[in-house]
Amino acid sequence: MLLCADAERSYFKQAPIRNKFENYSPSADVKSMGKDGALHGRCSIQVVKQDDYYAFALFARLHVSGKRITATIEAVRLCDDDDKGDCAPMSEPD
């Protein structure tokens, strides 16, 4: 969740969700993770039982050093209503 919070604070300076992350209930989905440390994911935040809902696609690169894993955020984009590609919600397993 910290990766989502960092992405929101860094990339959405003009977006309606700027500085509101603490007021929202966050969730995160990892879409894929490559052997090279590439991570594609989707973060979403919503005020519980209200209509304010925002989702954004995230691309980050993971780095391992000893027992630490850090991430560098490389790209973030606010999802629109079409929910396709990296913005598509994860399906529930059968």
| 68-78 and 53-65 beta bridge pairing | antiparallel
What's residue 76's pLDDT? 87
Q: What percent of the chain has pLDDT over 70?
A: 71
Residue 18 confidence class, pLDDT cut points 50, 70, 90: low
Mean pLDDT of 68-94: 77
What's residue 39's pLDDT? 92
What's residue 37's pLDDT? 92
| Domain boundaries defined on the chain | 2-82
What's residue 92's pLDDT? 56
pTM exceeds 0.85 for this model: no
Q: Inform me whether the pLDDT recorded for 15 exceeds 70.
A: no
DSSP for the chain, written as a single string: -HHHHHHHHHH-SSSTTTT-GGGSEEEEEEEEE-TTSEEEEEEEEE-TTSS-EEEEEEEEEEEEETTEEEEEEEEEEE--TT--GGGSPPPPP-
